[in-house]
Every structure is written in structure tokens, then in C-alpha cells.
Amino acid sequence: MKIILASGSPRRRELLAMAGFSFDVIPADVDETADPALSPGQLVAHLAEKKALHIRDMNQGQDAVVIGADTVVAIDGLILGKPKDEADAFDMLSRLQGRPHTVFTGVTAASCKTDKIQTFVESTKVFMRALADDEIRAYMATGEPFDKAGAYGIQEKGAVLIARVEGDYFTVVGLPLCRLNLTLREFF
């Protein structure tokens, strides 16, 4: 069975490869505008499914499973996606520093040959250490915050900002590998 990753995320590609999966990459170009009525878990499930189904529909009839995923950071009832600009990144990191927050990753696996679809959501609590404004600015100067939900990357330079994690580390990176593997084995 062929696997198609419906994501342009280099982190998701690295994780799938690291776990030993063979796959093709076809990034899903879909509208990711957040519906404010959805909870963080509902939002990532909706977007993961939207991405997977978009690519599945382009590959109907193939013996393949499409994997779509989406990740957001949530704190104080707010959903933090990727920052729009430097001010937004600074605001996000200022809000997160010294406090726990939750990272949600939704994943959809959809068969191109049948109507089989499985969606799940994983959440992980992350504790960012207290940061001074100059530390936030120095981290922002690396350029790393600008393509990541919550404006940080736990698997890169942002690792030094994180005091601890409660839950699946790979959920924070953007693809919960254990749950994905179990889902593929059980349903596909």
C-alpha cells in the first residue's frame, strides 16, 4: 500500500521517514481559515480531514492512503497557529513563556480506493520556561518561529525553551507516530 503525505511540512516528512515509512509527498493547498466556533481539537481534526480528502480526491482509485495533519497551540481559550509577522510571534511567545499550554495535532488517514477514513486527535501539555524579552527576540532572530504553530519548534532551537512535556512529544512536532502507526495497521 502506497502512502501519500498531504503536507509540505519538512518536520512531518522527517518523522515519517524516521519511522521507516515509504511515502510520496503531495502538499494539500486548502483554505486553512480557522472557524472560531471550533475547539482546538475540532479545528485540527477538521483541517486534517480537509487536507487528506483534497489529496484523496485527486488520487481516486489508487491503492494508496493519504495522511493529512494539522497542529495548533492553545492557551487561555485561544488557538495559536503560525504567526503572521514579528509582532504576532513576539506576542505568542510572551503569552506562552512561563506557563503550560496544550498542543493539538489532528490526523486523518483516507483510502483512495475505498471510502475508509479515520481521524484522530492527540493533545500534549507543554511547559515553556520563563523567558526575558531579550531571549524571545534572540529566538525570533533565528527565523525559526515563523512557520510553526505557537511560534516555536520543540525539535529545533526552541528545544531550549521547553522545561518539560506531558504526553506524546511527536504530537508537539506535528505527527503522533505511535497513534498513526496503530491506525494504519488496524484500519488500512
On whether the CB atoms of residues 77 and 16 are closer than 8 A, the answer is: no
Give the integer Cα–Cα distance in Å for 44 and 105.
Answer: 6
On whether the CB atoms of residues 80 and 151 are closer than 8 A, the answer is: yes
On whether the CB atoms of residues 103 and 75 are closer than 8 A, the answer is: no
Cell of 78: 485561544
Taking the alpha carbons at both ends of the chain, their separation in whole angstroms is 9
Largest CA distance in the chain: 54
Residue of 24, 31, 70, 168 marked catalytic: 70
Residue 35 falls in the annotated catalytic set: no
| Helix (H), strand (E) at residue 2 | strand 2-5
Non-local (6+) Cβ contacts of 155 within 8 A are: 11, 173
Q: Which of 61, 39, 44, 42 has the alpha carbon at shortest distance from 7?
A: 44
Q: Which residues are catalytic?
A: 70
